[in-house]
């Protein structure tokens, strides 16, 4: 189980005194690491990070379902490592 230790948090991972506290947690991939699931019940909102060419639609849907079940609001999504194919006339390459 992941131990969450931070100044100003109670044992449930919630702010203990200041309700305006912001804590950013860079968690491992939740679907690949079940030991990180307890983090879901201690957070209010999340930003989903996906990797272009690697993250699959069914995995993204399963993650969104898990977050919905844990009542975590999804603020948005970041698509990492996306490389658009640009035409050669503006500096793009025909090589992969």
Q: Which pLDDT belongs to residue 80?
A: 92
How far is it, in rounded angstroms, from Cα 92 to Cα 75? Answer: 32
Backbone region of residue 81 per phi and psi (left: phi > 0; alpha: psi in -120 to 50; beta: other values): left
Segments making up each domain of the chain, as ranges: 49-83
- pTM > 0.85: no
List, for residues 38-60, the tens digit of each pLDDT value. Answer: 888 888 888 999 999 899 999 99
């Amino acid at each position: 189980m992941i131990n969450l230790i931070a100044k100003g948090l109670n044992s449930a991972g919630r702010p203990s005194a200041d309700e305006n506290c912001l804590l950013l947690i860079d968690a491992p991939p939740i679907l690949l690491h079940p030991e990180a699931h307890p983090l879901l019940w201690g957070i209010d909102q999340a930003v989903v990070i996906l990797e272009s060419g690697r993250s699959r639609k069914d995995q993204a849907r399963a993650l969104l379902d898990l977050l919905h079940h844990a009542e975590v609001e999804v603020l948005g999504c970041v698509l990492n490592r996306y490389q658009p194919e640009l035409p050669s006339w503006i500096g793009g390459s025909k090589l992969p």
